[in-house]
């Protein structure tokens, strides 16, 4: 056996050594970005990247329009109307078998659509630990569904006290409801934080970001949302920002959550809202998101009484004009 390295191999190792010498600088940039450092600004005059615009299947179905319940029907409509992607409302699905999830993924791909969100429901605001554990296990099931679908983020919420007679009463009270008798809001936050803390490991394992929505219950205020996010302190739990769930002083509140946002749900109300109508200033909201450095998806949630097909058509035209 020769003790010397043949000439071609020596050249290869010299080339590899030169390439390795260049790696630390690029690795350092990647590491800095992973730690949260912002990349350098684009050069002057560079074209602004347009934000992708998606639609929630909820926009067509709305819990009441059975002809729009099938996910495939919503995917076809979204593609026809020019959306870039679709956020699936999980309770709208009827078949959770792996074969059906792959069928939905294939259907989206053939329509040129990204499946970018799975909007789920859970309720951790319950004094019964067995109920909370059931909700944890169910949310783990949702995380695995998202993974099978290739969806990178799911919407989650805190749940609520359940002291309102029904959702209509909750809306009449502007989303505010009394704490369950015999318990405190502090207890409620503890239940939610403990429950969501059990989810982040599964989320990381499957590469699915949890987006805590500013929703009713303990997520009603930006302070409530950030109390939970900050307590868990994981990159796998951030914020899903709903533009229509702050009924008072919306712009200051949206600005509080924008820096932690991974998905924006944009509400529109053509034909008037079912429970309320907000006259939202979307150019102003776009400015808030720009200031926060948000570059991700805008997902339409149409909540108007107008026919959903025409309402979504008007909505995408407005969102394209606003967000480029």
CA distance 299 to 301: 7
Q: What is the pLDDT of residue 39?
A: 53
CA pair distance 128, 22, nearest whole angstrom: 57
Return the pLDDT at 43: 66
pLDDT at 16: 41
CA–CA separation, 56 vs 208, rounded Å?
Answer: 18
pLDDT of 260-281, one tens digit each? 999 999 999 999 998 899 999 9
What's 97-144 look like in SS3?
CHHHHHHHHHHHHHCCCEEEEEECCCCCCCCCHHHHHHHHHHHHHHHH
Q: Is residue 88 within 8 Å of 118, Cβ to Cβ?
A: yes
Distances (CA, A) of 288 to 111, 148, 247, 248: 32, 33, 17, 17
Stated as kind and residue range, the H or E segment containing 205 is: helix 200-206
Given this model, what pLDDT does residue 198 score? 97
What is the distance, to the nearest Å, from the Cα of residue 153 to the centroid of all Cα atoms in its chain? 5
pLDDT value of residue 2 = 39
Distance CA 61, CA 303 (A): 10
**Residue 1 confidence (pLDDT):** 42
> What CA–CA distance (Å, rounded) separates 124 from 191?
6
Q: Which domains does the chain have, with CATH numbers?
A: 53-323 (3.20.20.150)
Q: 110: exposed, middle or buried (C-beta count within 10 Å: 0-12, 13-18, 19+)?
A: exposed
Those residues with Cβ within 8 angstroms of residue 32's Cβ, 6 or more apart along the chain or in another chain:
none
DSSP string, 21-70: HHHHHHHHHHHHHHTTPPPPPPPTTPPPPPPPEEEETHHHHTTT-GGG-S
Q: Within the chain, which residues score under 70 in pLDDT?
A: 1-48
What is the Cα 256 distance to its own chain's centre?
17
Dihedrals phi, psi of 57, to nearest 5 degrees: -60, -25
- Residues 316 and 83 sit within 8 Å (Cβ to Cβ): yes
Per-residue tokens: 163? 């002291």
CA contacts within 13 A on the Cβ side of 104: 33
- Return the pLDDT at 41: 58
What pairs with residue 263 in β-bridges? Answer: 240
């Amino acid at each position: 056996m020769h003790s010397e390295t043949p000439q071609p191999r020596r050249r290869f190792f010299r080339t590899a050594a030169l390439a390795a010498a260049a790696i630390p600088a690029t690795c350092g940039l990647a590491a800095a970005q992973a730690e949260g450092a912002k990349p350098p600004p684009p050069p002057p005059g560079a074209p602004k990247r347009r934000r992708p615009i998606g639609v929630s299947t909820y926009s067509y179905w709305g819990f009441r329009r059975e002809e729009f319940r099938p996910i495939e029907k919503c995917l076809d409509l979204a593609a026809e109307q020019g959306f870039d992607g679709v956020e699936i409302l999980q309770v709208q699905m009827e078949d959770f078998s792996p074969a059906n999830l792959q069928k939905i993924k294939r259907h989206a791909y053939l329509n040129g659509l990204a499946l970018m969100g799975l909007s789920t429901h859970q309720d951790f605001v319950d004094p019964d630990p067995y109920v909370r554990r059931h909700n944890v296990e169910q949310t783990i099931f949702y995380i695995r569904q998202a993974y099978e679908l290739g969806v990178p983020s799911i919407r989650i919420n805190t749940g609520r006290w359940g002291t309102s007679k029904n959702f209509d009463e909750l809306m009449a009270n502007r989303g505010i409801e009394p704490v369950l008798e015999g318990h405190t809001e502090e207890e409620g936050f503890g239940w939610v934080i403990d429950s969501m803390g059990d989810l982040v490991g599964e989320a990381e394992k499957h590469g699915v970001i949890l987006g805590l929505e500013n929703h009713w219950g303990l997520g009603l205020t930006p302070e409530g949302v950030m109390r939970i996010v900050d307590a868990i302190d994981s990159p796998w739990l951030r914020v899903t920002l709903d533009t229509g769930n702050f009924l008072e002083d919306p712009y200051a509140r949206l600005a509080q959550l924008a820096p932690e946002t991974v998905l924006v749900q944009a509400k529109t109300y053509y034909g008037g809202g079912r429970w309320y109508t907000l006259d939202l200033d979307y150019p102003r909201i776009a400015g808030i998101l720009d200031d926060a450095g948000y570059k991700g998806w805008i997902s339409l949630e149409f909540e108007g009484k107008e026919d959903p097909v025409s309402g979504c058509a008007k909505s995408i035209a407005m969102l394209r004009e606003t967000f480029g």
